[in-house]
Amino acid sequence: MQTKTTLRLAWRSLWELRRTHSVPTGVRLLAASLLAVALALGLMSIVAVFGRVDRPNWWMASLLPNIGICLCIVHTLLGTLRLAERLLPEHLVERMSDVRDIRAGMALSALALSGIILGMTIGFTIVPILVGFNVWGMFASLPAALTKFAVFLLFVMAANWVWWRARLREQLLRQDALDARLRLLQGQIEPHLLFNTLANVQSLMDYDPPRAKRMLETFSAYLRAGMTQLRETDSTLGAEIEMARSYLALYQIRMEERLQFRIEANDAALAARMPALMLQPLVENAIHHGLEPKLDGGSVLVSAQVEQGRLRVSVADDGLGLEAPSRRLRPGAGMAVANLRARLHTQFGPGASLTLRAADPGTRAVLDLPYRAGAGAGVAS
Amino acid sequence: MRALIADDEPHLAHYLRDQLLALWPELEVVHIARNGVEAAARIAELAPDLAFLDIQMPGLTGLEVAQGIEGATRVVFVTAFDDYALQAFEHAALDYVLKPVAAERLARTVARLRAVPVGAAPDPAGDAAMADALRRLMAQPPRAPLRYIRAGQGERTHHLDVAEVLFFQSDDKYTVVTSTRGEYLIRTTIAELLAGLDPAQFWQVHRSTIVNLAWLDGTRRDDASRLFLRLRGHGAELPVSRAFVTLFKAM
């Protein structure tokens, strides 16, 4: 297992342009040599299947020269990349390793291609001396060999391009997930809520001590639920709803008769697994954009159903609605929905969605996810 | 010294009142408002010397209430935590109170407020700083320049060149467009219009009013030193709120 991981890391580091590599040189050379042998065997298999071979013992006679040539090609290629790492100015190396930049990809490809051609030249020169097999002569006499060579080069370039695209996608996804988590961490414990609650407790201690106590209890419950959710990436709807419930209860103490809320979810829905902290931003939006700025306030209904293998969670409010101009002062406010959509996309691709619709009055947000049953139904009923 | 306090959570307002009175016994709290709309109405009616306005209130935010004050009421913002707003207040040297209230901090604010004599003329520099801070805090993202307004009137729509518009005035849910051709209702808010109109030609003069300078005829100041605008081709005068009075000082 350990060796496999080291080799995989070595394989990765072969293709990355970086000043310093974490994998030892020996392991990297081994990985490169293994690659060369695999390449040689692959090429010979192609020739064996598609080519016309009339000489007896062709396989044995060609194996060693082929491996030799491939070793030359691969090591020269990697040598070229390592040389580029050392010789090019640091900012250029950094730019070229940025997979998101198409020009960097092309420059890297050109560098790799020149390495391959140089490697072939070296290989075709050295190997015949060792084994007495004139490769150049083969090319000169056979136009078909030239065509094959061109096809081979095209194949290498295509493979390179496909690999580059795959790496780009992987890095973007990883970046997305990381960003989403960071934003989550930053946004979670909203300072405004924290200080407002403290101010409430400060004043209620004199006028209404039981209410101050209730407020502290509810706020603690909210914080605890939030902390637990923050550590999880994969949570359950039950845990999500507990957090939403304590949040709404906290706001109800503050807004009094201006806020009513109801939560409807059966045990199957409560046990469903879902990404953590997906429901909370929707409930916060309903309060901040819908009900808090509205003179008479209103109500929030959180409901969840499981239907035909899908989990549908809806947050509906009868507040100001989507049309109302935003009153939030913070720059970047209103990013919650975009963040949630990015997170859904990272995890489920097109298999999940978040829709916002204008209700009359108010707003209705619906999360639609694949249903995954979790252990222990009704944990948080 | 007469003061008004506005906060949607009444016990917070009461607590602030008690803390203020402990530091400033001569202060008279004339009203405690529970939302922005009530605060705006009572400030206009009671003309207090001071208004302690919570920023996040239902109806109108504290900032919007401040933008609509016509008289000499001096504003002190109250907030739990609005990072962005606090930066603007600091920058403009505006008065503000933080929740939870810290006695020592509040004492400093009170000392500052007490230094201003009762009935003193409004401080133009302070007004200008307030106008600037409010404009920055409430700015909408810039929009494409607005040249024409489309207004519906029953089954017909009207196409108005903004040059024909004398002024825009918000009326609860709608905005009234007063033009050379008559009055029309549109749904676009004052803040949204402001983001699209040429700032050299259209000035916001009140929370609810944008005027076209091309039609400005002159100004008038009343006994309470409130400022009013006269527009050509329009009978009534338009009030200018304190935060925007300085715009007309240089004219």
Q: Which residues pair with A230 in a beta bridge?
A: none
- In this predicted structure, what is the pLDDT of residue A381? 39
Task: Name residues whose C-beta falls within 8 Å of residue A372's C-beta, 6 or more positions apart in sequence.
Answer: A272, A273, A274, A311
Please tell me which residue, B234 or A327, carries the higher pLDDT value. B234
- Whether the per-residue pLDDT at A89 is higher than 50: the answer is yes
- Whether the per-residue pLDDT at A188 is higher than 60: the answer is no
- Whether the per-residue pLDDT at A380 is higher than 70: the answer is no
- In this predicted structure, what is the pLDDT of residue A325? 67
- In this predicted structure, what is the pLDDT of residue A58? 67
pLDDT digits (tens, 9 = 90+) for A120-141: 888 878 877 777 666 656 555 5
Please tell me which residue, B231 or A67, carries the higher pLDDT value. B231
Average pLDDT of the segment spanning B17-38: 96
d(CA A1, CA A9): 12
- Domains of chain B (ranges; CATH) run 2-129 (3.40.50.2300), 148-248 (2.40.50.1020)
Look at A327 and B61 and tell me if their CB atoms are within 8 Å. Answer: yes
Q: What are the b/e assignments for A77-100, b being 16+ CB within 10 Å?
A: bbebbbebbeebeeeebeebbebe
- In this predicted structure, what is the pLDDT of residue A73? 85
Calculate what percentage of chain B has a pLDDT beyond 70: 97
Strands A363-370 and A310-317: antiparallel
pLDDT digits (tens, 9 = 90+) for B145-190: 888 998 887 788 889 999 999 999 998 778 999 999 889 999 888 8
Look at B59 and A258 and tell me if their CB atoms are within 8 Å. Answer: no
- In this predicted structure, what is the pLDDT of residue A114? 86
pLDDT digits (tens, 9 = 90+) for B51-104: 999 999 999 999 999 999 998 899 999 999 877 788 888 888 888 999 999 999
d(CA A381, nearest CA chain B) in Å: 32
Laid out side by side, the sheet with A259-265 consists of A259-265, A298-307, A310-317, A363-370, A353-358
Whether B196 has its CB under 8 Å from any CB of chain A: the answer is no
d(CA B62, CA B138): 11
pLDDT band, very low/low/confident/very high, at A377 (cuts 50, 70, 90): very low
Average pLDDT of the residues of chain A: 81
Look at A293 and B59 and tell me if their CB atoms are within 8 Å. Answer: yes
From-to residues of CATH 3.30.565.10 in chain A: 189-370
Task: Name residues whose C-beta falls within 8 Å of residue A174's C-beta, 6 or more positions apart in sequence.
Answer: none
Among A186, A196, A211, A294, most B C-beta atoms within 10 A, so best to mutate, is A196
Look at A200 and B137 and tell me if their CB atoms are within 8 Å. Answer: no
- In this predicted structure, what is the pLDDT of residue A215? 95
Which class for B146: exposed (0-12), middle (13-18), buried (19 or more C-beta within 10 A)? Answer: middle
Whether the Cβ atoms of residue A296 and residue B37 lie closer than 8 Å to each other: no
pTM equals 0.69
d(CA A16, CA A250): 51
d(CA A110, CA A118): 12
pLDDT digits (tens, 9 = 90+) for A283-306: 999 998 899 999 999 999 999 999
Look at B58 and A293 and tell me if their CB atoms are within 8 Å. Answer: yes
pLDDT band, very low/low/confident/very high, at A272 (cuts 50, 70, 90): very high
Whether A199 has its CB under 8 Å from any CB of chain B: the answer is yes
d(CA B95, CA B79): 11
Backbone angles phi, psi at B2, to 5 degrees: -110, 135
Establish whether the linkage from the previous residue to B100 is cis, with ω within 30° of 0. Answer: yes
Look at B100 and A195 and tell me if their CB atoms are within 8 Å. Answer: yes
- Whether the per-residue pLDDT at B237 is higher than 90: the answer is yes
Establish whether the linkage from the previous residue to A361 is cis, with ω within 30° of 0. Answer: yes
- Whether the per-residue pLDDT at A332 is higher than 60: the answer is no
- In this predicted structure, what is the pLDDT of residue A132? 67
- Whether the per-residue pLDDT at A379 is higher than 50: the answer is no
- Whether the per-residue pLDDT at A202 is higher than 90: the answer is yes
Whether A215 has its CB under 8 Å from any CB of chain B: the answer is no
CA distances (Å), origin B215, targets A349, B162, B189, B205, B211: 56, 12, 21, 14, 8
Residues 93-112 on B with a CB inside 8 Å of A are 98-101
Give the CATH number of domain A189-370; options: 3.20.20.70, 1.10.240.10, 3.30.565.10, 3.30.70.580. 3.30.565.10
Three-state SS annotation for chain B:
CEEEEECCCHHHHHHHHHHHHHHCCCCEEEEEECCHHHHHHHHHHHCCCEEEEECCCCCCCHHHHHHCCCCCCEEEEEECCCHHHHHHHHHHCCCEEECCCCHHHHHHHHHHHHCCCCCCCCCHHHHHHHHHHHHHHHCCCCCCCCCEEEEEECCEEEEEEHHHEEEEEEECCEEEEEECCEEEEECCCHHHHHHHCCCCCEEEEECCEEEEHHHEEEEEECCCCCEEEEECCCCCCEEECHHHHHHHCCC
Angle at CA of residue B242, ends B236 and B244, nearest 5°: 80
Q: Which residues pair with B172 in a beta bridge?
A: none
